[in-house]
Structure 1
Amino acid sequence: MQSKSNRKIAVVGVGSVGASVAYALAISGLVSELVLVDVNSAKAEGEAMDLAHAAAFIKPVTIYAGTFEDCRDAGIIIYCAGASQKPGETRLDLLQKNYAILRGSLPELRFGSGDGILLIVSNPVDVLTYAALKITGLPPERVFGSGTVLDSSRFRHNLSRHCGVAPRNIHAYVVGEHGDSEVLLWSLAYIAGTGLDRFCGLAGIPPVNRQEVDASVRNAGYEIISRKGATYYAVSLAVRRICESIIRDENTILTISGLIDGIYGVSGCCLSLPAVVNSHGRGSPLKLPLAGEEEEALRRSAGILKAAINQINL
């Protein structure tokens, strides 16, 4: 079990996503020590200086630029290094170049003998999480990806706008790949313990347009990238939420990406399913009663990810 007193977090890669993650953590009050690592050391130093100058406005936290050696005693290492998705690219299009960066970086981290957690954020997050497991040899509960935590929030956001209910009062999950083959679990979407269609009837509002919401959630990243070039604010808050559950030992159910071994007939890949997250890391994924078409879609998503894994030399 991870020591709850270890509130040191290392962010590896401080591009748009990594810098936003560092900012979200700096203002969260969760972290006692925040080290930023990047192949461009001047960039890491600049980001650390900028964040450290907020000392009068945030809870006490030591923020500095460091090296891979400074990551060894971190409770959580957040891996954000790599190329970002460009307009017209899918997440899987980033595989070869980001796998090469991951393969070169992880051995340099030289994980200590403690029980620190490696959280993968770089895309394609599911394939890179699987690769990180193989490269590091760490236990599966200590290596996982940010997965569809953001996608699930996007799902709830859309349902919230239609139903007029706060997103945090909506239970709805996206599973599978963090990407084009992700699966929205409509059969398990509930508000106040009530299925969506029944809730809409009770509230006197039209049923949710499922095709419209599905397209909005699935294509959100592309829509944002086409307008501003990158996505980073929402994912940084998703990462902060994951770290909060670890540091505070919350036993929160989150759709993080991790090793799947036999559940729903899927094995040999990492993908997102609801799992309990606490100071131990990621618990076993929960086998929920999915609708038949949802389970089939999840297996198709797993097949796409396994084909991508076969493209890299693990």
Structure 2
Amino acid sequence: MKKTSNKVVLVGAGAVGTSFMYSAINQGIASEYVLIDAFPQAAQGNALDLADTMAVLPQPFTSIKAGDYSDCKDADVIVITAGRPQKDGETRLDMVAGNAVIMKSIGEEIKKSGFKGITVIASNPVDVLTLVYQEVTGFDQHKVIGSGTTLDSARLRRLLAEKLNVGAESVDAFLAGEHGDSSVAVWSRASVMGQPISKYISDGVIKQADLDKIREEAVHMAYKIIELKRATFYGIGVCLTRIVKAVLRNERATLMVGAKLNGEYGNKDLFTGVPAIIGENGWEKIIEWDLTKDEQKLFNESCTTLSAAISKAREAIKK
């Protein structure tokens, strides 16, 4: 990775992509930005709109423009959000075939550019499409990161914080597995300011039934938002910024990203949400928690669900 100015390329200048870009430029994580979209006018219009912030930002960037896949060659990070959006009442896995074909096309173009950096993917179903991209490109698995359950876990933290009447930043709580309906709440690792959530249960502050309800609400939050305003984008935009910043600044931060399992947690050959160390080389190591028996069972079921969707995606891109 080059060590001069940081360059980020966005593929997919829709609501999710531009929310990421707006968050990224406000946090000053890079110097150069490029937007690529199947509709060039959308990329150009958003680039011009975002460029209007340059004169007033506390950490201004150097350049932002609409571009094409040739701009990927010297990028440090590519963020992919392209694909059709989730419809009201539709699960993320319902989108697999069509978006797998789109991801294959994108991956082939990026590989052709000579890109050597890190790719961060948020296109849905993200776990499946991250694997499609990695297999199509042949890129080092550690250099391909799915957004995983970063957003899901942020939702869980917020809801638990509201229940306990504390700040969300004081809460550590995690959803693992699929970014979707089968994700697993790892309550055995949840804590507030270092105090395990089990202590709050034993003290009568919160009940397991409350935690189950919070998990359900977090997992189905996207459906609620889509019903109300047709799409979700601000939360994932900020989560993508968090991941990309960890890469560009070599933070070695631990985040719930989509990393490829190679036997960790008893599963393999798929990307899914797990705790991993993130730095300039991508996801560097998966952290293996000792899950409870029930958590492991639910995680295995989530992986089985993803494996079935992966088969559909592979079938779709063969046609």
**TM-score, length of structure 2 as denominator length:** 0.94
User: What does residue 20 of structure 2 align with?
Assistant: 21
User: What does residue 291 of structure 1 align with?
Assistant: 292
User: What does residue 266 of structure 1 align with?
Assistant: 267
User: What does residue 80 of structure 2 align with?
Assistant: 79
* Alpha-carbon distance between aligned partners in 2 of 1:197 and 1:82, rounded to the nearest angstrom: 40
CA contact (8 A) 2:11 2:36 kept: yes
Shift in Å, 1:113:
5.4
CA contact (8 A) 1:127 1:269 kept: yes
How do residues 97-116 of structure 1 correspond to structure 2 at under 5 angstroms? Answer: 97-110=98-111, 115-116=116-117
Greater Cα offset, 20-29 or 3-12: 3-12
* Alpha-carbon distance between aligned partners in 1 of 2:169 and 2:275, rounded to the nearest angstrom: 16
How do residues 207-218 of structure 1 correspond to structure 2 at under 5 angstroms? Answer: 207=207, 209-218=210-219
* Alpha-carbon distance between aligned partners in 1 of 2:168 and 2:253, rounded to the nearest angstrom: 16
List gaps (5 residues or longer) in structure 1.
Answer: none
Identity %: 34
List gaps (5 residues or longer) in structure 2.
Answer: none
Letter of the aligned partner of 2:120 in structure 1? L
* Alpha-carbon distance between aligned partners in 2 of 1:280 and 1:103, rounded to the nearest angstrom: 23
Shift in Å, 1:164:
2.0
> What is the DSSP-based 3-state SS (H/G/I as helix, E as strand, rest coil) of the residue aligned with 1:290?
coil
* Alpha-carbon distance between aligned partners in 1 of 2:297 and 2:198, rounded to the nearest angstrom: 23
> What is the DSSP-based 3-state SS (H/G/I as helix, E as strand, rest coil) of the residue aligned with 2:269?
strand
* Alpha-carbon distance between aligned partners in 1 of 2:156 and 2:131, rounded to the nearest angstrom: 25
> What is the DSSP-based 3-state SS (H/G/I as helix, E as strand, rest coil) of the residue aligned with 2:84?
coil
Distance 1:212 1:41, change over 3 A: same
User: What does residue 128 of structure 1 align with?
Assistant: 129
Deviations 1:79-129 (A, max 9, x none): 111100010110011111111111112111236656410111100000000
* Alpha-carbon distance between aligned partners in 2 of 1:210 and 1:86, rounded to the nearest angstrom: 28
> What is the DSSP-based 3-state SS (H/G/I as helix, E as strand, rest coil) of the residue aligned with 1:256?
strand
User: What does residue 195 of structure 1 align with?
Assistant: 196
Deviations 1:10-37 (A, max 9, x none): 0001111111111111211111000000
* Alpha-carbon distance between aligned partners in 2 of 1:143 and 1:90, rounded to the nearest angstrom: 24
CA contact (8 A) 1:15 1:81 kept: yes
* Alpha-carbon distance between aligned partners in 1 of 2:196 and 2:3, rounded to the nearest angstrom: 37
* Alpha-carbon distance between aligned partners in 2 of 1:254 and 1:85, rounded to the nearest angstrom: 25
* Alpha-carbon distance between aligned partners in 2 of 1:254 and 1:291, rounded to the nearest angstrom: 20
**TM-score, length of structure 1 as denominator length:** 0.95
* Count of residues paired in the alignment: 312
* Alpha-carbon distance between aligned partners in 2 of 1:86 and 1:95, rounded to the nearest angstrom: 13
> What is the DSSP-based 3-state SS (H/G/I as helix, E as strand, rest coil) of the residue aligned with 1:273?
strand
Whether 1:178 aligns to 2:179 is yes
Letter of the aligned partner of 1:17 in structure 2? V
* Alpha-carbon distance between aligned partners in 2 of 1:122 and 1:237, rounded to the nearest angstrom: 15
* Alpha-carbon distance between aligned partners in 2 of 1:256 and 1:264, rounded to the nearest angstrom: 15
Letter of the aligned partner of 1:94 in structure 2? M
Deviations 1:201-255 (A, max 9, x none): 66x7343602210111110000000000000000000000001111111111101
Q: Say what the alpha-carbon RMSD is for the aligned residues.
A: 1.5
The list of structure 1 runs, each at least 4 consecutive aligned residues, that deviate by more than 2 angstroms after superposition, is 2-6, 110-115, 199-202, 204-208
Shift in Å, 1:71:
1.4
User: What does residue 205 of structure 1 align with?
Assistant: 205
CA contact (8 A) 1:69 1:110 kept: no
CA contact (8 A) 2:69 2:113 kept: no
Whether 1:60 aligns to 2:95 is no
Letter of the aligned partner of 2:33 in structure 1? L
